[in-house]
Amino acid sequence: MSSGQYFDDDPAVGSDPRPIEVALPDVAFTLTADRGVFSADHLDAGSKLLLMEAPALSAADKTVLDLGCGWGPIACVSAARAPQAVVWAVDINERARRLTAANAATIGAANRIHVADPDGVPTDVRFDRILSNPPIRIGKQALHELLTRWLPRLTPSGQAHLVVQKHLGSDSLADWLRTEGYDVDRITSRAGFRILEVRRRG
């Protein structure tokens, strides 16, 4: 982790914007990150794995959530890959939200990437896909509250893909999600990360 208390809202550290290359087999662009946000110097390895390994977005994925968007790599790549989709990019960190909005404009998707704080998403919005590198370090209880808030907003056939470091509790998180009524599959286990696929049971 490169950015200290990344879960602080509107961190007070001075601004120092820097370009970040996001280079994937199908998408490449230069975005901007800054101090005071998660992974301010590079595309995080877990987020990159998620973007490489999660099932491709399809035409059915009309509404996508990047939960904990940081400077917006997951939201921007999702918008580039799914031109039909509206992407909600949610974060408590104001600087992260500003960066994501600027990055959305950089890739020409400002009209489809809706950047919001958690209270800024209309309550009737439902998500066909949730993609997230969730803020594990906020602690188990806060993480459970976060997921309890957003996962019920999946559409009936919707799926969430979460990337979690194994040593930060990916397996116990999967167990907890099962007790909450979700089907959970580990679709990738690599380089210390796991990608969990989460669906409503039944």
Ligand X SMILES: C[S@@+](CC[C@H](N)C(=O)[O-])C[C@H]1O[C@@H](n2cnc3c(N)ncnc32)[C@H](O)[C@@H]1O
- Among the listed residues 189, 118, 130, 179, the one whose alpha carbon sits nearest the alpha carbon of residue 154: 130
The answer to the question of residue 3 lying near ligand X (CB under 6 A) is: no
Least distance in Å: CB of 59 to ligand X? 24
> To the nearest 10°, the Cα dihedral for 118, 124, 129, 135?
20
- Among the listed residues 84, 99, 81, 125, the one whose alpha carbon sits nearest the alpha carbon of residue 39: 99
Paired tokens of 135: 């803020």
Least distance in Å: CB of 74 to ligand X? 5
**Residue number, nearest CB to ligand X:** 68
Asked whether the CA dihedral 162, 164, 170, 176 is positive or negative, the reply is negative
Per CB under 6 A, the list member of 118, 139, 181, 192 interacting with ligand X is 118
The answer to the question of residue 69 lying near ligand X (CB under 6 A) is: yes
The answer to whether 131 touches 158, Cβ cutoff 8 Å, is no
Per CB under 6 A, the list member of 57, 76, 79, 91 interacting with ligand X is 91
For residue 159, the surrounding DSSP H or E stretch is: strand 154-165
Shorter beta-carbon distance to ligand X: residue 10 or 183: 10
Number of residues near ligand X (by CB under 6 A): 21
Neighbouring residues of 183: CB distance < 8 A, sequence distance ≥ 6:
198, 199, 200, 201
The answer to the question of residue 103 lying near ligand X (CB under 6 A) is: no
Tell which positions 4-63 bind ligand X, by CB under 6 A. 6-7, 38-39, 44, 47
Of the candidate spans 68-76, 108-116, 182-190, 191-199, the one that interacts with ligand X by CB under 6 A turns out to be: 68-76
Per CB under 6 A, the list member of 92, 110, 121, 168 interacting with ligand X is 92
Paired tokens of 86: 């509206």
Q: Which residues bind ligand X (CB under 6 A)?
A: 6-7, 38-39, 44, 47, 68-70, 73-74, 90-93, 96, 118, 133, 135, 138, 146
